[in-house]
Amino acid sequence: MSATVGGRTHKPTATIGWPWRDPSGRLSPFKIVVLAALFVPALWVSYAYTHNLLGSRAVNEAIHQIGLWGIRLFFVALAISPTRNILQWPQLLLVRRMIGVAAFAYLVLHLCLYILDENFRLLTVGSEIVLRIYLTIGFAGLVGLAVLTVTSTDGWVRTLGGRRWKRLHQVGYVIGVLAVTHMFMQSKADVGEATWMGGLFAWLMAYRLVAWLYGRGGRMPLWTPAGLGVVVALLTAGAEAFYFWMKMGIAPWRVLAVNLTLIAGLRPGWVVLIVTLTLCAAGLLLSLVRRQRRVQPA
């Protein structure tokens, strides 16, 4: 996966080789831990399926869970560059491609399980993808992600050239829109996760826009992404209230009031606020620690 921050293209850092090694060829404990963690969701779904923990429609629930994890990992890959800048943690770029490829693998598995659920009737699967708009949107996102996965290597960067490669991988932002839309349409009644995922995606896009406006590598004071988090959290809460108003006729102010009291738990606006402000607070803390180390005598 790739991302552009402040107008600069961060090229994939890993050369051809084993995913658990760094660019110099040495074993990377960080990459090993991330690689192992990427298998955990699939192993959990497999365990839950074999131990009858997925309910009466086990295959359907497995399809749903694997697809959700594919989208989650895709958004994690999109979040690597902003997180790296806020935390000043360059090593994060080492695992961006790995996470993006894992997201694609999960979504391919999601499609394969759907084909399995349809007893390998490929014509039926094809017609469903064409006739059901949320499946059409999801399949379009999968095709786009396949292109990004194939062209994520250093060889493709050299073949396309940095500028064209950067433009191609900006398709990832369109895929993000398709992913959120697919989640909303597929979730039906329970749109909580789709709403906060949409809010976090909006924050990631707002961050990139502001970083581009700042220039000079996208460096910005930490109050800027924190302020964006507050604004996007409020917009997310408003979007949720608007959804319930349009879908169920519930007055928006009643939804907002429930959100403020936390009676219904952490609603999407709160999730966006907590995630973004926690990230900025961690960046501030690490910045203070580094500054303290610099001023300490040897």
Mean pLDDT by 10 residues, the chain (298 residues): 44 51 76 94 96 90 95 96 93 92 97 94 95 95 95 87 86 95 84 93 95 77 95 94 87 85 85 96 93 73
| Distance, CA of 176 to CA of 194 (rounded, Å) | 12
160, part of any domain: yes
Residue 21 lies in a domain: yes
Q: What is the span of the domain harbouring residue 28? A: 4-187
State the pLDDT at residue 262.
77
pLDDT at position 6, please? 41
Q: Residue 249's pLDDT is what?
A: 86
> How high is the pLDDT of residue 18?
66
CB 190 within 8 A of CB 52: no
Residue 138 lies in a domain: yes
Whether 275 is covered by a domain: the verdict is: no
What does the pLDDT read at residue 16?
A: 43
Q: How far is CA 49 from CA 30, 55, 56, 118, 188, in A?
A: 30, 9, 11, 18, 23
Whole-angstrom distance, CA of residue 207 vs CA of residue 232: 11
The whole-model pTM stands at 0.87
Identify the pLDDT of residue 124: 94
| Sequence-separated contacts (24+) of 170-174 with Cβ below 8 Å | 170/4, 171/144, 171/147, 172/1, 172/2, 172/3, 172/78, 172/144, 172/145, 172/148, 173/78, 173/205, 173/208, 174/144
Alpha helices in 118-249 (DSSP H): 122-131, 133-150, 154-160, 162-169, 171-187, 192-214, 223-248
- Asked if residue 70 belongs to a domain, the reply is yes
First-to-last C-alpha distance (Å) of the chain = 41
* Predicted local confidence at residue 2, as pLDDT: 47
Q: How many domains does the chain have?
A: 1
| Six token digits for residue 91 | 């090593």
Does 92 reside within a domain?
A: yes
